[in-house]
Amino acid sequence: MTKQRWSAPGRVNLIGEHLDYQGGPVLPIAIDRRTTVEAAAREDGRVHVRSERSEQPVEFDVETRPGEVTGWAAYVAGTVWAMRAAGHDVPGLDLAVSSDVPLGAGLSSSAALECAVAVAVRDLAGLDVDDVTLALLAQHAENDYVGMPCGAMDQLASMCGRAGHALLIDTAAAYPAVSPVAADWTADGLVLMVIDTKAEHELTDGGYAERRAESGEAARQLDLDQLAGATATDLDRLEGVTRRRATHVVSETARVHACVEAMAARDWSRVGELFTASHGSLRDDYEVSCPELDVAVDTAIAAGALGARMTGAGFGGSAIALLPADAVDAVDAAVHQAFEREGLTAPECFPTSPADGAHADP
């Protein structure tokens, strides 16, 4: 059977960090780095998948169960499993995966793989499933097959991304509302730079789940279903760790709305200020930053960025900085020098821009 190709992007979250599992707003973009799957249906109910990033191909049955496939192929097996669990008839598949989304950089290479497989299966099996529902199935795969208790932001960004736009996603409802927001800083001479700190970023190892539990405890103490529903005055009823976590959630929620307003007004200095304030909150109140991310953010700002922040789950991974195009070289050089001075592994800086979500490729 002839093979066809589908691809899905990684993502960068502009602002609204650690809000997608507590009913808050988030503002990601899909980025111009993609994972591609070449796929064809098979008649024997087996899934055969190989990746240019791994020497060993992996094979499993479409009736795979959580725990059976581990490692990188679990994102593929989990997506097949979640689609079948939702009642869809998934055929056997031949899949070949390639990608330029960096691994372990906090840019959602896993969501890109899940979403590329999900759109391939949707088309090959002729399924009538909308993009948001498909993204939620990919999240289900990651939560209950891979075992990472993430929210739906990464999969929604990868599935629904739109070139030239960020996505304002309201995660309060079980079926999240996704609204494109024009994100055209380029027209005003600015660049969004990713600084991949190369610091270890391993999500299933506890820090993320611990934050989720602490925020859940804060919501419980306030008698709320979701912590994003808390107000500034509610914070007085909390103490210690739960108070710090809730302080981030309340202040970050306000920053997302302020950022959408500032973007509409093309007030990029304000957007930069909000990025930097978000980073401070993630560092001091939510406590998910790390020395590499702090060095990247502080150095980028000192070298001319309008603002900078960690993006994604934290504990390593990448930062983003919004900066004038003519400051790119200076910021890149300053960040490299600072990492060298601190004895840190050399980072990688590259510009990125908002791209389209998952789709069939020509």
The structure tokens listed for 303 are: 């070298």
Catalytic annotation present for 196? no
CB-nearer residue toward ligand GLA: 106 or 354: 106
The structure tokens listed for 356 are: 């389209």
The torsion of the CA quartet 234, 235, 236, 239, rounded to 10 degrees, works out to 130
Amino acid at 36: T
Q: Tell me which stretch binds ligand GLA (CB under 6 A): 15-23, 172-180, 233-241, 248-256.
A: 15-23
> Is residue 118 near ligand GLA by the rule CB under 6 A?
no
The torsion of the CA quartet 142, 146, 149, 152, rounded to 10 degrees, works out to -10
Closest separation between CB of residue 245 and ligand GLA, Å? Answer: 13
What DSSP line would sit under 39-71, residue for residue? EEEESSSEEEEEETT-SS-EEEETT--TTSS-G
Q: In whole angstroms, what is the distance from residue 219 CA to residue 311 CA?
A: 24
Closest separation between CB of residue 52 and ligand GLA, Å? Answer: 24
Nearest one of 145, 143, 166 to 29, comparing CA atoms: 166
CB atoms within 10 A of CB 70: 12
Catalytic residue among 131, 154, 196, 234: 154
CB-nearer residue toward ligand GLA: 25 or 354: 25
CB atoms within 10 A of CB 240: 8
Q: Tell me which stretch binds ligand GLA (CB under 6 A): 18-26, 72-80, 222-230, 339-347.
A: 18-26
What are the residues facing 190 on neighbouring strands? Answer: 324
Amino acid at 334: A
- φ, ψ dihedrals at 216, nearest 5°: -60, -40
The structure tokens listed for 360 are: 């069939």
Q: Tell me which stretch binds ligand GLA (CB under 6 A): 16-24, 168-176, 216-224, 301-309.
A: 16-24
> Is residue 20 near ligand GLA by the rule CB under 6 A?
yes
DSSP conformational letter for 225: S
Q: Tell me which stretch binds ligand GLA (CB under 6 A): 13-21, 29-37, 95-103, 128-136.
A: 13-21
Cβ-proximal residue to ligand GLA, closest one: 150
x/- track of binding to ligand GLA for residues 283-322 (CB under 6 A): -----------------------------xx---------
x/- track of binding to ligand GLA for residues 128-157 (CB under 6 A): ----------------------xx-xx---
Closest separation between CB of residue 151 and ligand GLA, Å? Answer: 3
x/- track of binding to ligand GLA for residues 50-79 (CB under 6 A): ------------------------------
End-to-end CA distance of the chain: 17
Closest separation between CB of residue 17 and ligand GLA, Å? Answer: 4
**Computed from CA positions of residues 69, 74, 77, 81, in that sequence, does the dihedral angle turn out positive or negative?**
positive
DSSP conformational letter for 186: G
The residue count for binding ligand GLA (CB under 6 A) is 11
Closest separation between CB of residue 32 and ligand GLA, Å? Answer: 18
CB-nearer residue toward ligand GLA: 20 or 131: 20
DSSP conformational letter for 197: -
- φ, ψ dihedrals at 199, nearest 5°: -80, 140
CB-nearer residue toward ligand GLA: 13 or 281: 13
> Is residue 245 near ligand GLA by the rule CB under 6 A?
no
Which residues are identified as catalytic?
154
Which residues sit at the interface with ligand GLA, rule CB under 6 A? Answer: 13, 17-18, 20-21, 150-151, 153-154, 312-313
